Amino acid sequence: MATILINSATLVSAGHPLHLSTVDVLVKNGKIEQIAKNIKTEDKKLQVIDGKDSFLSVGFFDLNVNFGEPGYETKEDIQTGTAASAAGGFTAVAVQPNTNPPIHSRSEVALIVNSAKGNLVDVFPVGTVSKKREGNELAELYDMKVTGAVAYSDGTHSIQQAGLMSRALLYAKGFGGLIMAFPEDDSIAADNKMNEGEVSTYLGMKGIPNLAESVMISRDLFLAEYNEAPIHFSTISTEEAVDLIKKAKAKGIKVTCDVAAHNLVFTDEDVKGFDSNYKVSPPLRTKKDVKALIKGLKDGVVDAVVSQHTPQEIEFKQVEFQIAKNGIIAAQTVLPLLVKAGLSPEQIVEKLAVNPRKILGQEVPVIEEGAEANLVLFSPSKKWIFDSKANKSKSANSPLFGQELTGQVLAVINNNKLHIN
């Protein structure tokens, strides 16, 4: 990588003496060589990146992506998935075990760790809680941790057995492991396709009530408290969830949670056109839920934002809404959605760069002279078009495809590699 000078960028790094100051940053051989108000250099091979009206922070970390490898490489693989993540400002991702076979033993964890070596984006595997994600018996949690797993989740399969969840929390606590729970009670959700409410009644579709989420969160909070273990809730979507987690935090339960960026902007009203690109899990909820989620983010109840990047081939999306698969490609569109949701650059950095690492117990990179450069440069006001030319994913299932979006990632630097959009 050439020597890079990022000039006139606003630094976002809480606690840094130059926080919210306009700075120049010189990066040489993958390390930050100098941070100053105005840097002059004689380097002839210098690559200058204009940071005017843009913000510079530690690279974003995505707690929830699906890269398809192993088994679903036609949807996405690690190379195309990390290219999409880098374009979205992420220098690290946690890949979910929604694969075939699932990431349920040390061999799958090792496969992902080895496949991602030498990449700009650091890839961390999330192992399964149960063998084959079947929800019956515990997977080899400790073995996977030793090989490189950073947390445990059954991905899109919510753990229905309370006993299994309790044992998982207790066992993982013993070696500092974290259980990431997708909260949905299957007996209440009942394989329905959208949010239960006025819109589902109007469309004549069976809905998934908020209750399916809040019942499971209540159960798991009891189990976490009983076992004195930490728990993380992935992709909450309801007002009730925010309220339950807020009360649990006040009570001292070790709980964290995240929300998918699309659940902060879109609502079940968007489903009226039966566009299957709005079919996600958990489903898009009401404006009231969206408002509560955004307030929860700003109040510190909701700790992080994720992309929940879920690529699907065209044959699984360009079909009737009822039979279409869940998910959207989202790694590249998180920033525009957070801008649209009204988050400030400081809030964006906290929810996308700092807190995700803290949740996983990862070290938060620092922006100081001599440190490894792990950086993202982004503009909340710059416009761009998300089309086939800009899209880095193998798939194209996004309701934002072809639209002009506000909020662009300009560049990312990590592992002595540079990506410029």
Mean pLDDT computed over 296-320:
95
| Mean pLDDT (whole number) for 105-113 | 94
pLDDT confidence of residue 85:
97
| Angle in degrees, CA 331, 332, 335, rounded to 5 | 100
| DSSP character string of 387-398 | STTT--SS----
> What's the whole-number mean pLDDT along residues 315-343?
94
- Tell me what pLDDT residue 300 has: 96
Structure confidence by residue, pLDDT tens digits, 56-86: 999 999 999 999 889 999 999 999 999 999 9
Mean of the per-residue pLDDT values for the chain?
A: 95
pLDDT digits (tens, 9 = 90+) for 359-417: 999 999 999 999 999 999 999 999 999 999 999 999 999 999 999 999 999 999 999 99
**What domains does the chain contain, in order, with CATH numbers?**
4-56+368-420 (2.30.40.10), 61-359 (3.20.20.140)
CA–CA–CA angle 3, 91, 326 (5° rounding):
145
Strands 194-195 and 179-181: unpaired
Percent of the chain clearing pLDDT 70 (strictly above): 100
The pLDDT, as a whole number, for residue 278 is 95
Give the pTM: 0.95
Residue 12 pLDDT exceeds 90: yes
What average pLDDT does the segment 306-315 reach? 95
| Residue 386: per-residue pLDDT | 96
Residue 42 clears pLDDT 90, i.e. is over it: no
**What integer pLDDT is reported at residue 2 of this predicted model?**
81
Helices (H) and strands (E) counted in the chain, each on its own, are 13, 18
Asked if 171 and 143 count as a contact pair (C-beta separation under 8 A), the reply is: no
Residue with tokens 């996308």: 352
Cα 79–Cα 85–Cα 88 angle in degrees, nearest 5: 145
Beta bridge partners, 122, equal: 92
Q: What is the pLDDT of residue 45?
A: 82
d(CA 164, CA 155): 15
Whether the predicted pLDDT of 222 surpasses 90: yes
> What are 138-196's pLDDT values in tens digits?
999 999 999 999 999 999 999 999 999 999 999 999 999 999 999 999 999 988 889 99
Q: Where are the alpha helices (DSSP H) in 174-301?
A: 186-189, 198-203, 210-227, 239-251, 287-299
**pLDDT grade, residue 228 (50/70/90)?**
very high
Q: Tell me: pLDDT of 44 over 80.
A: no
**What is the model's pLDDT at position 73?**
93
Residue 242 and residue 385: Cα distance in Å, rounded?
33
pLDDT of the residue at 69 = 87
- How far apart are the C-alpha atoms of 33 and 55, rounded to whole Å? 19
Within 300-380, residue ranges assigned H as helices are 314-317, 334-340, 345-349, 355-359
- Rounded Cα distance between 161 and 139, Å, is 14
